[in-house]
Amino acid sequence: MTDKLFDSFISNKLKNYESPLPDGLWEKIIAEEDKRKPAIIWWKTKQILLLAFAILFTTFSVGYYFNAHRNINNFRALVENKKTIIITNNEKIVIENKENTSNSVEIVNNKKAIKKEKITAKDITEINDNNTSIAASKSKNNLNNNYIISKKITAEKSLQIEDLTANKNNFFIDNKIKNITPTFKLNKKNNPKFRIINDLKSSNYLKNYTKNEPVESKETKITITNHKAFWASTIPLKNDLLHTKKLVNNNVLELKKLFNGTDDCPSTTGVIRNDLYIEGYASPDVAIKKISENTSGNNNYLSKKDSSETMLLGFTIGARLSKSLSNNLLLKAGLQYTQFNEKFTLRTENDRRQTIIINEHTIVRPGLPDTTISDTSFSLQIGYRVRSNINKYKNLEIPLMLSYELSKPESNWQLAINAGAIVNVTSWYEGKTIDANYNPIVVGSKSNNSIYKSQVGISLYGGVTILRKIDEQIAVFAEPYFRYGISNSLQSSTGFTQKFNVIGLQFGARFKINKNKHL
Amino acid sequence: MNKFFNILFLIIFLNFWLASCTKNTEKFTPYTTAELNDISWSSRTQMPLAKHQAIISALSKQDFTNSFNAAYSDTISINSQLQLMFPANSCLLNGINFLGNVNTSLKQLTSKGDFIRNLTSSCNSNKLYDSKGLFLLSLKDDNSKNITLTNGSEYDLSLVDSNILQGYEYIAGSTNAANPDSIYWALADSLDVGYLVYSSILFNGQFKKAYQIKSKALGWINIAAPIKSMAVTWFNVVLGVSNFTNKNTAVFAVFKDFNTVIKLKSDVASKTFFAENIPVGANINLVSISYIDGLFYLGSQAITVANAIQYSLKSSVVPVSIAGVNAFLEAL
């Protein structure tokens, strides 16, 4: 008894006790995170930083522009391609006109008697004709209308509650239920935030909740009265658009069957390309060397050097990621290894070669037996020696480019134009050249001399891709290209700088990483 | 996914194969006309005459020159050791008595190195001599025409020496058209050619003892004493460099104990050099001198002659300058 009283006393005193945090703890944590920020050595050069920023800003600006307008293009594609949306059981099509003008869209029912419905400004219309197809036709006045066409799944009588893990993010409330108080049980492991969106923009339908208000992960109760529709998701929506990014179990639409000619399922809001590829490639290269003289009076040396060196076939091998920014535009970035091969040939006159030979000498003396002597002797030869050496310029590079596909993404044959830049991150070389006295000398990372010094260089890249699909995910391509060296990739202590222009033919394969990735 | 990697690997393999068919090479091509590359032996046992003359021209010391008037008897000093005396009216030019200015040119070979520079033996191998010096006198007029001596005229060649030794003789050397670069030595006929006397002469205002040759012939003069005969043998010498042949190389047996040099003969069949009648037990330096493409190569090996043996002489393949050759020869 006494024990219990004591226990109760302690419990009452300490039940809500929170131990205070040491002073300065949060500041230390912030400072520690600052310390851990890694130094990116490669990008310390100002010029490289500026250039990288310019390239990234340009590409992402273009990507943002196209991304912001994809809904318009998706609607246009939907309309122009005369796509149809088939409504099955328990589905409704909701069309929301976000423009201020009326008479913008005509909905035509193909199977039954033609039924045209006009969507007025700011209107949300539900089409609920089972087993019918509905085609959206373009408006007479303006194609650039901001519409959202989505599918709404409605449940029957029961409340649908889904396991809200990281990948499953949606569930739906039966909108026919009135005057009930559903309870949402969320997955506490992932602790997601639950958002209820009232697309009707009317607060009267959802008591205590307004649009876009997040709800913490806990047992939540809401009251739903006389609402028409709303969606709930755990993923913050983009641009306040009402997207159902992924449909829930048992209610997945067989959208792949609905649209002709496409391989992936478009979203309920339209066909917006969101493909991610990994590409592997290799190419034989023809490099053209450009030498600039730094020191005057160096002509004889450069002339002799030039006559001793001939560029051979080189190669490039690399991999890159390719991300679609729109239906036709892709951003590509990766890593590649380039090797330029050069033949160094030097003829040296009056060169001597010494070999060891065994001679036999038979000595004949009158009245005496013959004597044979075997002798090891040297044999000298004088002549000219031609030394051929393969010099190798090795580079690690980062290609950054945009690719514009001239044909449809679903076509089996595709043609694309590529343009961008290639940043030479690091170079190393091995081989031979001639020194100021025209004698052959070894150059390279393992030699003791410092005749060559590599520099970070940039090249402009342009190419045309011819791509052939093998199956749903794999395609092969050929890409003739030209790259123009802007900056010198090598500086010599004998008084010249050097850069390369390259003509090549890339052969590669592309693999689509994502599936069903449309917005 | 497998199909993707298969395609990719095939592309990469083809690319590497296409760009990698190159390797470092080094090729040596001998000159077809270079003398060094010719390792064949001449059927003629002697060195080609042009080569012989080229070596002598490159290495020989300058001849001593002077002049006298053929109309008068004259004694002329050649150098610090030599003096010539010509009687009056002793010169002929084209068979006619010559009384004008006569230019004398005297080649003097006194050391072993001098013998080798002139590619000559100091004696024949069948009879060895210890030589005080070899001398070759020529007379020319001012137009460089050869002058000969009148029949019976006798000139004096005096070699001053502070240590006069007995037993020295006048050994006359002769050549022939077939072998103009070989000298055959023989004791001079005292009546027809000349003889040696021991004399005291007035030399540069002082009386000095000298070996005096009284000669009626122009040509090679050798003041030498015979070496005591002993058991002799022969031996062959194999050179350690195939490029050194009888077309460009001379091999000598240089006696350490005597001022005697024997030039070895070449044996074309065995591609060796050989020497005959060499005393057994003699201390000898085998010396080879080669001249190829304007460069000299030397070889040397000290031996003690054994009975009928072969020696291998390892010559150097590193060229030696003329100054280096002379320094080597002076040290013999």
DSSP string, A352-401: EEEEEEEEEEEE--TTS--EEEEEEEEEEEEEEEEEEEEEEEEEEEEEEE
CB of B150 within 8 A of CB of B95? no
Tens of pLDDT along chain A (519 residues) come to 444 565 665 556 556 555 555 555 555 554 444 444 444 444 445 555 555 665 666 655 555 544 444 433 343 334 444 444 454 444 455 555 555 554 444 555 444 444 455 555 555 555 555 544 444 444 444 434 444 454 443 333 222 333 333 333 334 444 443 344 444 444 444 444 455 544 444 444 444 444 444 554 444 455 444 433 344 444 333 332 333 333 333 333 333 333 333 334 444 444 567 789 999 999 999 999 888 776 666 677 778 888 888 999 999 999 999 999 988 899 999 999 999 999 999 888 999 999 998 888 888 877 788 888 888 888 999 999 998 888 998 999 999 999 999 987 778 899 999 999 999 988 888 888 887 777 788 876 555 455 566 667 889 999 999 999 988 888 999 999 999 998 766 666 666 778 889 999 999 999 998 764 443
Contact yes or no for B97/B150 (Cβ under 8 A): yes
CB atoms within 10 A of CB B185: 22
> Which residue of chain B has the CA closest to A507?
B11
The angle subtended at Cα B229 by Cα B223 and Cα B232, nearest 5°, is 115
B243 → closest Cβ in A284, A379, A383:
A379
Least confident of A339-348, A384-393, B1-10, B66-75: B1-10
Distance to chain A for B275, nearest Cα, Å: 12
Q: Give the three-class secondary structure for B253.
A: strand
Computed on alpha carbons and rounded to an integer, the radius of gyration of chain A in Å comes to 37
Question: Hey, are the CB atoms on B34 and A382 less than 8 Å from each other?
Answer: yes
- Which of chain B's residues have a Cβ under 8 Å away from the Cβ of A474? 3-4, 7
Q: Which residues of B touch A362 (CB under 8 A)?
A: 269-270
Distance of CA A107 to the CA centre of its chain: 38
Ramachandran area for residue A131 (φ above 0: left; ψ -120 to 50: alpha; else beta): left
Name the closest residue on chain B to residue A382, using Cα atoms: B30
What pLDDT shows up at residue B143? 94
Close Cβ partners of B216 (under 8 Å, ≥ 6 residues apart) = B149, B152, B153, B154, B192, B193, B194
Contact A341 B19 (CB under 8 A): yes
Residue of B nearest to A431 (CA): B24
Convert the pLDDT of each residue in B17-41 to its tens digit.
665 556 788 899 999 999 999 999 9
What is the pLDDT at residue A169? 35
Distance between CA B62 and CA B45 in Å, rounded?
28
Residue A18 has a pLDDT of 54
Q: How far is A321 from chain B (nearest CA, A)?
A: 15
Q: Cβ separation of A509 and B7 shorter than 8 Å? A: yes
Contacts of A314 in chain B (CB under 8 A): 19
| A114 burial level (CB within 10 Å; 0-12, 13-18, 19+) | exposed
The residue length of chain B stands at 332
Give the whole-angstrom CA distance, residue B11 versus residue B44.
Answer: 69
User: Do A474 and B18 make contact, defined as CB atoms within 8 angstroms?
Assistant: no
- pLDDT category at B331 given cuts 50, 70, 90 is very high
Place of tokens 């090729």: B27
Chain B nearest CA to A369, separation (Å): 12
Predicted pLDDT of residue A103: 44
Do B19 and A371 count as a contact with CB atoms less than 8 A apart? no
Torsions phi, psi for B319 (to 5 deg):
-60, 150
Residue of B nearest to A389 (CA): B24
Q: Residue A513: how many CA atoms within 13 Å on its side-chain side?
A: 12
| Partner-chain contact A371 B269, CB within 8 Å | no
Chains A, B: CB contacts within 8 A come to 141
- Please tell me whether the overall predicted TM-score, pTM, comes out greater than 0.90 for this model: no
Question: Do the chains contact at B243 and A357, CB–CB below 8 Å?
Answer: no
Q: What are phi and psi of A487, to 5 degrees?
A: -110, 160
As a three-state string, the secondary structure of A454-474 is: ECCEEEEEEEEEEEEECCCCE
d(CA A381, CA A100): 97
Q: Least CA distance to A380: which residue of chain B?
A: B243
A361 and B19 within 8 Å at the Cβ level: the answer is no
Distance CA A347, CA A22 (A): 79
CA dist., res. B251 & res. A314, Å (int): 58
CA distance A153 to A231: 9
Tokens 């590599």 appear where? A454
Q: ipTM of the assembly?
A: 0.75
Question: How do strand A220-221 and strand B148-149 relate by DSSP bridges?
Answer: unpaired
In Å, how far is B173's CA from the nearest CA of chain A? 29
Name the residue among B16, B23, B36 with its Cβ closest to that of A380: B36
Query: Chain A partners of B234 at a C-beta cutoff of 8 Å?
Result: 365
Contact yes or no for B88/B153 (Cβ under 8 A): no
How many other C-beta atoms are found inside a 10 Å radius of the C-beta of residue A55?
A: 19
Query: Cβ contact (<8 Å) for B24 and A388?
Result: yes
Q: What residues of chain B lie within 8 A of the CB of A368, using their CB?
A: 308
Non-local CB neighbours of A25 within 8 Å, separated by 6+ positions: none
**How are strands ordered across the β-sheet holding B96-98?**
B96-98, B91-93, B148-149
Minimal CA–CA distance to B81: which of B135, B27, B124, B31?
B135
Q: Which residues of B touch A509 (CB under 8 A)?
A: 4, 7-8, 11
Q: Span B36-63, mean pLDDT? A: 90
Residues of chain A found within 8 Å of residue B34, distances taken between Cβ atoms: 382-383
Task: Determine the distance in angstroms separating the CA of B20 from the nearest CA of chain A, rounded to an integer.
Answer: 8
Measured between beta carbons, the chain A residues lying within 8 angstroms of B20 are: 315
